[in-house]
Amino acid sequence: MKSISLFDDKVRTLEGPADNNITDIFKYYNDSARPEVDNVRILLESWFSQYPDEEKQDLKSRFKASFDPTFYELFIYILFKRLGYSLTIHPELPNTPRHPDYLAKRGDEILYIEVKHMTMHSTSTQALERRKNTVLASINKVNSSNFLLNLKSVIFKDDSQPSGKRIIHFFNQEISKYDVDLYTSSLRQNRLRKMPKITYDDNKVTIEVQLLPKLPEYQGVKSRAIAIYPSDTQIGNDSKNIIDALVTKGTRYGNLNAPYIICINKQGVSFDITEIQEALYGSLLTSWSRDSPNRNDRLEFAGNGFFGSKHTPKSTRVSGVYITNANTANLGTTAAHAFRRNLFAKYPIDLTIADSIKELLGIPDNYPFNHKCQ
């Protein structure tokens, strides 16, 4: 039987980064000739080779249809293998036709694993993200031969999509009015605040940019126009979204006969331990003693999280929750994780995941920009 590979063995000629609004992630990874994308392919191919042969075709098909959730399934498979488990994919259960993602065994220990990839955006927020990314893709097509852009702000006025052609035409005209040599000299004197600003405004969007002159040796060379993006601010936290994702999985398979872990990949702005603790154990409260001469103030969880409290235990079918923010680009840098046990579980679990994702998975230094992944 011929071995199945995840990506095609072919000559690749696609240069440049992916568009902001990319819809077919697998195709981009399969076609890109960029060295860092090659390193991602090498890593994923090495993981894919460890997946059972009889399951590879299905996994590859799901990678093509829905890249991020399938990446996380493979990530969890490899991670638990590195923790010393052997895994069965979609095991049979006695009392339901449903199948959890994995049955993991290590010596006499067995546990079920369910995998959930979650985005932290509502449908309306996702639509806004698509509009924003389409606008960013247009701005990146502005002629940047002599100036790069510090994108200060993008403010939408309604729910319609602005015209990319008008945005590009406007900025090309305005930028052509500025002398790059004049502003190069000014920038060398640390006068960033004196760099010119240009504002595009119509009935759909307002865009403000600041011009940044290129160094002389890079002038005349085309590139992506945006050098600095505006920072995004996350308001509030995602603890409720985490609880909602856990609840949908918590009772999916009824009463199991072994520990059950839910793994969630949280794609958001940050990885916040506090919001994870609140999602699982409840809000933080300050309590004190009324009987003692000293107040003895202390912080404690309210017990209104997914696990509940010793007085009102919840989700006792779930033995633990593993939360990550992993993606193909951050495995060696900002990928973070946390495993938390449910102290009130019907089947408690003695599992510790202490090492970093980088250490557990053997991710090379400087990945994905190292010379070659092994």
Are 326 and 254 in a shared domain? yes
Q: Give the tens place of pLDDT for each residue, 147-158.
A: 999 999 999 988
> pLDDT tens digit string along 327-372?
998 999 889 999 999 999 999 999 999 899 999 999 998 899 865 5
Of 172-176, 191-195, 257-261, 263-267, which range is least confident? Answer: 191-195
Would 370 be classed as within a structural domain? no
Last residue of one domain, picked from the residues 180, 200, 228: 228
272 and 335 together in one domain? yes
Mean pLDDT for 285-306 is: 62
Name beta bridge partners: 176.
none
Total number of domains constituting the chain: 2
Gap between the Cα atoms of 276 and 272, Å rounded: 7
Bridge pairing between strands 260-267 and 205-213 = unpaired
Give 307's contacts (C-beta < 8 A, 6+ positions apart). 280, 281, 313, 314, 315, 318, 340, 342, 343, 344
* Reported confidence tier of residue 176, pLDDT bands at 50, 70, 90: very high
Three-state DSSP class for 181?
helix
Q: What range defines the domain where residue 339 resides?
A: 56-120+238-361
pLDDT at 193 over 90: no
Q: Rounded to an integer, what distance in angstroms lies between the CA atom of residue 344 and that of residue 309?
A: 8
pLDDT in the model for residue 356: 95
Residue 46: inside a domain, yes or no? no
| 116 bridge partner residues | 264
Distance CA 164, CA 162 (A): 6
Q: What is the SS3 assignment for 233?
A: coil
* pLDDT the model gives residue 137: 86
Say if residue 114 is in the same domain as residue 148.
no
Q: Which residues contact 95 (CB under 8 A, 6 or more apart)?
A: 254, 255
Alpha-carbon distance 360 to 225, whole Å? Answer: 38
Whole-angstrom distance, CA of residue 202 vs CA of residue 138: 15
Token pair listed for 22 = 């990319």
Most confident of 89-98, 225-234, 263-272: 89-98
Return d(Cα 189, Cα 56) in angstroms, integer. 58
- Per-residue pLDDT at 233: 43
Question: What pLDDT is recorded for position 216?
Answer: 85
Residues composing the chain: 374
Final residue of a domain: which of 228, 263, 284? 228
What is the reported pLDDT for 217? 83
Tell me the percentage of the chain whose pLDDT exceeds 70.
86
- Domain co-membership, 197 together with 343: no
Q: Residue 13 corresponds to which tokens in the numbers above? A: 């000629």
Question: With pLDDT > 90 as the criterion, what percentage of the chain qualifies?
Answer: 60
pLDDT at 232: 54
What average pLDDT is seen over the chain? 87
As given in the structure block, the two tokens for residue 16 are: 């440049």
Work out the average pLDDT over 240-260: 92
Instruction: For residues 223 and 369, give the distance between their C-alpha atoms in angstroms, rounded to a whole number.
Output: 19
159 and 220 belong to one structural domain: yes
Which range, 77-86, 134-143, 179-188, 241-250, is most confident?
A: 77-86
Number of CB atoms found within 10 A of residue 287's CB: 11
